[in-house]
Chain A
Amino acid sequence: MNGTNLIKIALKAISNNKMRGFLTMLGIIIGVASVITMLAIGQGSKKSIQSQISEMGSNMIMIQPGGDMRGGVRQSASSMETLKLADYNSIRNETRYLASISPTVNSSGQVIYGANNRPTTVYGVNEEYLDIRRYSVADGSMFSEQDINSAAKVCVVGKTVVDELFTNGEDPVGKVIRFNKIPFRIIGVLTSKGYNSMGMDQDDLILAPYTTIQKRVLAITHLQGLNASAIKEEYTDQAIDEITEILRRNHKLRETDEDDFTIRSMEELSKMMTTTTDLMTVLLAAVAGISLLVGGIGIMNIMYVSVTERTREIGLRMSIGAKGRDILAQFLIESILISVTGGLIGVIFGVGAAFLVNVVVNFPISIQAWTIFLSFAVCTFTGVFFGWYPAQKAAQLDPIEAIRYE
């Protein structure tokens, strides 16, 4: 008996009992559809978090002073003075894995323009900070290296600050604002980035040359931190090793000493946050997988009933020349057809439901080819697995008894 004949026979058997075939399929349809929808939701939220992180700069590396102990008391990072300009210079000169690096010193305070004021943070950085944090200048320009060297009182402001200070729609470029009584001339406005995934307003900031902040605002010589970006996200780890090596050497740390600085990367943060969504995806998929399992048990149940009900038919087929394996193949193909058809319909429903979730409740979704392939493979496997025992039972019937079965 060849394949096409077997498929014809199986189709005939299913169409002889359409309602039952449909109900059996329903279990698989619901199972596959829910697996696909749940994975789409899980993957969707993971993707949206990843894209938000990459907006902040997924290859970003943050270096802070810290990890130091004085008399057994661990000190807070901001009180450390271990990072110096010399560190910045040696990293900058020696690095192979960094694309950009910028010192950071910041100060919070009230910014004033005319009758308006607003609390905000001024970040003292260099011109590479824009690349590191993926900012860009919408109006005007960024300050230059010369501004840094001369500790010029110029700044670039974020959209939120502009909106708060320039309420009557004036052009902020060229205007002078005051921060801690020090006047800063606005030379550029940053393109708006909105809120990040942790709810921080990324437009509520002022960028100024770090030298200006060090000398004129904070009156310090050390750096509060360094921000850098690896040439590529994959090189983050090498870059971190490189920085560690340079800083340890500069700080003259011995083998046994702990680092007196902390290096964090966005990659770490990204990993931490995607772990949560991965866990959510696994849980959702597990719940959906259980419904697929229940659907599979439904197939097994129906196939058992079908074998019992068709004992006479099996007996007849055997007495006119069907071998055990012909009968096995017949019932196996029947259950595979049910599960594969159910799987196909389930894929359509699952994709549809995922889009519905996206449109109706505006939840991010992401349907990936592997989720469809996986659920399809699982349901074919379900068909084979749960069809096997009933089919085996049918194949092992004794034709003499089967043909006279009442």
Chain B
Amino acid sequence: MTKKTNIEIPLLGDGRTEGAVIRLDQIKRDFQVGEETVHALRNVSFAINEGEFVTIMGTSGSGKSTLLNTLGCLDTPTAGEYYLDGVSVRKMGKNDRATLRNRKIGFVFQSYNLLPKTTAIENVELPLMYNPSYSASARKQKAIESLIAVGLGDRLQHKSNQMSGGQMQRVAIARALVNDPAVILADEATGNLDTRTSYEILVLFQRLHAEGRTIIFVTHNPEIAQYSSRNILLKDGRVVSDTVNNAIQSAAEELARLPREND
């Protein structure tokens, strides 16, 4: 068992940038494939401040999955420093990273990844199960609050196999919110949904952004960039553009413009 890292004390000094939730400093990630070394990330550096809604885009092979894994503390970089909420991740062990993920990150996956035959509440409670400071009742209370926040207050006891794709993704978002994370990491969160439901989910993300949440949305769909506050474009393991979006489109308006389906 590795020693417990005190993640409550923010790292002072060069690692800390005022207001930055995420800071990447010359991140490199190499993979050994047979004889060859594949450079998935080559000197990626950027900082994300609290309250930003950032889309990270790139084609497949651009390194965005590796970047997502790094940001999500699932993987550690070969070189460079990564600070999440002021904590250096690079030298952390497996167990400490698990605890860090539990406290600071909310994941939303393309394929929802809900537990089968399990109610919405139980699914949302899950991250808190791995946090010993929550009692059973506090856990349930938090889960209900999160589900109400994503508009599923009337479906608390629905099981995951009784819900539509959009509802399942809302449950997944509620699960990502339940631990009050420093950052929400969405991986192609609308990839499995039809256009209408995708917009509904985007509306939800925009609302969370408006409430001051930090969101990183990894996607290959360029349309989504216009709804975020900032767009980072990745190509061959390098950041090729990093632009702030001054004219954020409203997903709600776009949703209203969509033709009603009459069937």
Question: A residues engaging B (CB < 8 A)?
Answer: 1-2, 5, 9, 12, 16, 312-313, 315-326, 399-400, 403
Contacts and interface: CB of A to CB of B under 8 A. Distances in A.
Contacts of B94: 323-324
B74 A323 contact: no
B130 A326 contact: yes
Nearest to B75: A400
A324 B75 CA distance: 15
Contacts of A399: 74
27 contacts: A1-B130, A2-B132, A12-B118, A16-B116, A312-B113, A313-B113, A315-B113, A319-B72, A319-B74, A320-B102, A320-B107, A321-B98, A321-B103, A321-B130, A322-B98, A322-B130, A323-B94, A323-B98, A323-B130, A324-B94, A324-B98, A325-B95, A399-B74, A400-B69, A400-B74, A400-B75, A403-B113
Nearest to B98: A323
A324 B102 CA distance: 13
Contact of B115 (A5, A313, A322, A325): A313
B28 interface: no
Contacts of A317: 126, 130
Nearest to B1: A325
**Which 6 A-B residue pairs are closest in the complex by CB-CB distance?**
A321-B102, A321-B130, A320-B127, A316-B113, A323-B98, A323-B95
A320 B109 contact: no
Interface string B55-94: 0000000000000010010110000000000000000001
A145 to B, nearest CB: 82
Nearest to B2: A323
Contacts of A320: 101-102, 107, 126-127, 130, 175
B131 interface: yes
B108 to A, nearest CB: 11
Contact of A319 (B101, B129, B131): B101
Contacts of B69: 400
Contacts, number: 58
B99 interface: yes
Contacts of A403: 109, 113
Interface string B201-223: 00000000000000000000000
Interface string B106-129: 010100010111100000001101
Contacts of A322: 98, 130
Contacts of A5: 129
B118 to A, nearest CB: 7
Contacts of A316: 109, 113, 115, 126
A12 B75 CA distance: 30
The residue in A5, A317, A319 that gathers the most chain B C-beta atoms within 10 A of its C-beta is A319
The residue in A16, A321, A326, A403 that gathers the most chain B C-beta atoms within 10 A of its C-beta is A321
B175 to A, nearest CB: 7
A314 to B, nearest CB: 11
Contacts of A318: 98
Contact of A321 (B109, B115, B117, B131): B131
A257 to B, nearest CB: 73
B99 A321 contact: yes
Nearest to A319: B107
B101 A321 contact: yes
Contacts of B113: 312-313, 315-316, 403
Contacts of B72: 319
B5 to A, nearest CB: 13
Nearest to A17: B117
A318 B73 CA distance: 11
A1 B129 contact: yes
B214 to A, nearest CB: 17
A2 B128 CA distance: 11
A126 B109 CA distance: 97
Contacts of B102: 320-321
A306 B75 CA distance: 26
Contacts of A16: 116-117
A59 B175 CA distance: 76
Given A319-B72, A324-B94, 14 more contacts: A12-B118, A318-B98, A320-B101, A320-B127, A320-B175, A321-B101, A321-B103, A321-B131, A322-B130, A323-B99, A323-B130, A325-B1, A325-B95, A399-B74
A319 B1 CA distance: 19
A68 to B, nearest CB: 76
A21 to B, nearest CB: 14
Contacts of A400: 69, 74-75
Contacts of B131: 321
